Amino acid sequence: MQLGVVGLGRMGGNIARRLARAGHSCVVWDRSTSAVGELAGEGMAGAADLADLVSKLAAPRAVWVMLPAGAPTEETVNALAGLMSPGDIIIDGGNTFYKDDIRRAETLEPQGIHYVDVGTSGGVWGLERGYCMMIGGTKEAVDHLDPILAALAPGKGNIPLTPGREGRDPRAEQGYIHAGPAGAGHFVKMIHNGIEYGLMQAYAEGFEILKNKDSTALPANERYTLNMPDIAEVWRRGSVVSSWLLDLTSIALAKDEQLSAFPGEVADSGEGRWTVMAAVEEAVSAEVLTAALYTRFRSRQDHTFGEKMLSAMRFQFGGHTEFKMDK
């Protein structure tokens, strides 16, 4: 299947690569000519601009936009809408606010252009591991894209099947779901990221308590100097708190037990705020997720070991840089 890919950053470029490995044909464009040239050198068709990209796609066209939420995505979707035809599909694979998806889908519907939102999880590891995807849009458009989505998804792997799932949508077991109409994909991904904030915060606080067990404020016979890398490693194996986030934490601690390269200033990319907003709109109590978001705000004022761990985890799974690495 043929797909246009706009935005060749950390995830966009690897999405194109994973599709190419699966035998799909990608036409790629980015403002960075070097990014386009790199993928063209790997056998993909490079485009000079959006109009050139659209012209190189056979109808019905599908274009995957992988850009930061907000103006970059909005402007690109609007530009593509002026170049595409009825029956074509615009896919937003970034972290757009779901209400913007609803508005865009309603705007494009009179033109006969399908709009599909894909909440995409996998970060910089997605090329090898695959991408977990939560998808919103019409059944017609999502079904048309299934070969692309199946190729990007991680597949069943070695995860045991959940008892009692017989007769349910098998796509979930492959690592992707059609969550509902426009906006539903990004809404589910938004909550996914809100939960991610809470999980990361729990690890960070727990390791902070472990690290400070040698505090001089404690009685001498109650102080322990604990091995953070070994604790992270042993928890990975058979523990009820094992997870991929813990795997990534263990990698970071093995490299630098003090996490000295991380200042402890932790960014928030928007989804955590939107999750809290949704909780308020629905009158749902979300103490953990809200506190995790507020901790990130506070991290920009003073930096604890736990906040350095949050930065380390963000770098490990998403390549998010909040520090300057020595060359």
Which pLDDT belongs to residue 324? 52
Which pLDDT belongs to residue 298? 87
Instruction: For residue 3, list its beta bridge partners.
Output: 26
Mark whether 189 is an active-site residue: yes
Residues of the chain with pLDDT under 50: 325-327
* Catalytic entry in 109, 139, 189, 271: 189
Q: Which stretches does DSSP call E strand in 73-212? A: 89-92, 114-121, 132-136, 176-180
Instruction: For residue 4, list its beta bridge partners.
Output: 27, 63
C-beta neighbour count of 137 within 10 angstroms: 29
pLDDT tens by residue, 39-54: 999 999 999 999 999 9
The angle at the Cα of 39, spanning 33 to 42, to the nearest 5 degrees, equals: 140
Question: What does the alpha-carbon distance between residue 316 and residue 251 come to, in Å, rounded to a whole number?
Answer: 8
Which pLDDT belongs to residue 51? 98
pLDDT tens by residue, 278-296: 999 999 999 999 999 999 9
Q: Is the pTM of this model over 0.85?
A: yes
Mark whether 324 is an active-site residue: no
Which pLDDT belongs to residue 300? 86
Which pLDDT belongs to residue 264? 87
pLDDT tens by residue, 162-211: 999 999 999 999 999 999 999 999 999 999 999 999 999 999 999 999 99
Environment class of residue 41 by beta-carbon count within 10 Å: exposed (0-12), middle (13-18) or buried (19+)? Answer: exposed
Q: Measured in Å, how far apart are the chain's first and last C-alpha atoms?
A: 41
Which pLDDT belongs to residue 320? 82
* Catalytic entry in 196, 271, 307, 322: 196
Question: What does the alpha-carbon distance between residue 262 and residue 258 come to, in Å, rounded to a whole number?
Answer: 9
